[in-house]
């Protein structure tokens, strides 16, 4: 086509796509470009804005490496990660949620009742529940990969003062499907804002905060793996998570437990005399 105009360019683009070796790619790209053209036309995108956008993407790439996933963060704050996640979530089990960039593989084994708090300050939290199927049958031998920030709001990979695996643990359920551990009560924290995504949030008048949460990846033979997080009722950011990860069934309530009531069967059982909080949360997996 030699007579390309602003009104026909989208159709011209689509007409240039012939027999494809990858029909799904052709479908996705056709749709993406349709929306991209419509977006540019709708906002009457200027040359300067287009250049700014290209520069933004280049800088996002420049700052990204094996540890810093700025493109993933961009997808997260745009709500794309959560939307893709929800498009493929099944309603029967516990809802899934965003993985985030701070999961690390190889977490140390955490026995049932084990502790992740170590010497850190913070309110002691007992977290436990059953890994089960939607009918209530406990799942034996499920692995629960658990991670959270330290009380300073930083993940171990962001904080030179923490060990690699601090606040990371991998637990395996017994015949009763139970997982149980102690840690500190999670805190709210901002996603990294020292890169292009931080500038973008600021420019849009958005804050960077996530409500306090605990991350879980739950896996069991014959079941669909679950990547999720649980959030605390009452958190000030619960209704404005900057990465859109909160789902109604992922909101839990802490029980305030009085001094002297710490349960048996935990690594900290003989050590915690003060008040603490507990959270009971079952993790429900669906069959593959």
Taking the C-alpha atoms of residue 16 and residue 14, their distance in angstroms, rounded to an integer, is: 5
Q: Which of 168, 185, 210, 219 contacts ligand BEZ by CB under 6 A?
A: 210
> Is residue 76 involved in binding ligand BEZ (CB under 6 A)?
yes
Pick the closer one to Fe ion by CB: 168 or 178: 168
Length of the chain: 288
Beta strands in the chain (DSSP E): 114-115, 124-132, 143-147, 168-172, 178-184, 189-190, 209-210, 213-219, 226-232, 251-252, 255-257, 276-280, 283-284
Q: Give the residue carrying structure tokens 């507990």.
A: 278
Q: How many Cα atoms sit within 13 Å of 20 on the Cβ side? A: 13
Taking the C-alpha atoms of residue 124 and residue 130, their distance in angstroms, rounded to an integer, is: 20
Residues 31-50 that bind ligand BEZ (CB under 6 A): none
Pick the closer one to ligand BEZ by CB: 133 or 229: 229
> Is residue 73 involved in binding ligand BEZ (CB under 6 A)?
yes
Taking the C-alpha atoms of residue 155 and residue 142, their distance in angstroms, rounded to an integer, is: 25
Q: How many Cα atoms sit within 13 Å of 130 on the Cβ side? A: 11
Binding mask 242-271 for ligand BEZ (x = CB under 6 A): -x----------------------------
Binding mask 69-108 for Fe ion (x = CB under 5 A): -------------------------------x--------
Residues 166-205 that bind ligand BEZ (CB under 6 A): 191
Min dist CB 47 to ligand BEZ, Å, is 32
Q: How far is CA 167 from CA 12, 22, 151, 159, 162, in A?
A: 54, 43, 10, 12, 9
> Is residue 102 involved in binding ligand BEZ (CB under 6 A)?
yes
> Is residue 100 involved in binding ligand BEZ (CB under 6 A)?
yes
Min dist CB 3 to ligand BEZ, Å, is 46
Binding site for ligand BEZ (CB under 6 A): 73, 76, 98, 100-102, 191, 210, 243
């Amino acid at each position: 086509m030699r007579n390309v105009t602003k009104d026909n360019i989208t159709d011209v683009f689509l007409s240039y796509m012939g027999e494809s070796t990858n029909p799904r790619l052709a479908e996705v790209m056709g749709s993406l470009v349709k929306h991209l053209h419509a977006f540019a036309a709708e906002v009457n995108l200027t040359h300067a804005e287009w250049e700014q956008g290209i520069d933004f993407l280049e800088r996002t790439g420049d700052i990204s490496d094996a540890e810093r996933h700025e493109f993933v963060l961009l997808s997260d704050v745009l709500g794309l990660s959560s939307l893709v996640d929800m498009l493929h979530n099944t309603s029967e089990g516990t809802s899934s949620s965003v993985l985030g960039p701070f999961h690390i593989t190889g977490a140390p084994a955490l026995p049932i009742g084990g502790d992740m708090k170590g010497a850190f300050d913070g309110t002691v939290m007992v977290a436990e529940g059953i890994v089960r199927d939607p009918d209530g049958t406990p799942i034996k031998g499920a692995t629960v990969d658990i991670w959270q920030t330290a009380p300073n709001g930083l993940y171990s990979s962001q904080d030179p003062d923490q060990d690699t695996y601090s606040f990371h643990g991998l637990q395996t359920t017994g015949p009763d499907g139970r997982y149980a551990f102690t840690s500190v009560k999670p805190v709210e924290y901002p996603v990294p804002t020292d890169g292009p995504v931080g500038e973008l949030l600021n420019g849009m008048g958005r804050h960077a905060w996530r409500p306090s949460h605990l991350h879980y990846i739950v896996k069991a033979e014959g079941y669909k793996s679950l990547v999720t997080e649980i959030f605390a009722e009452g958190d000030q950011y619960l209704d404005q998570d900057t990465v859109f990860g909160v789902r109604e069934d992922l909101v839990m309530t802490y029980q305030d437990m009085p001094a002297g009531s710490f349960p048996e069967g935990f690594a900290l059982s003989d050590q915690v005399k003060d008040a603490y909080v507990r959270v009971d949360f079952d993790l429900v997996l669906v069959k593959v």
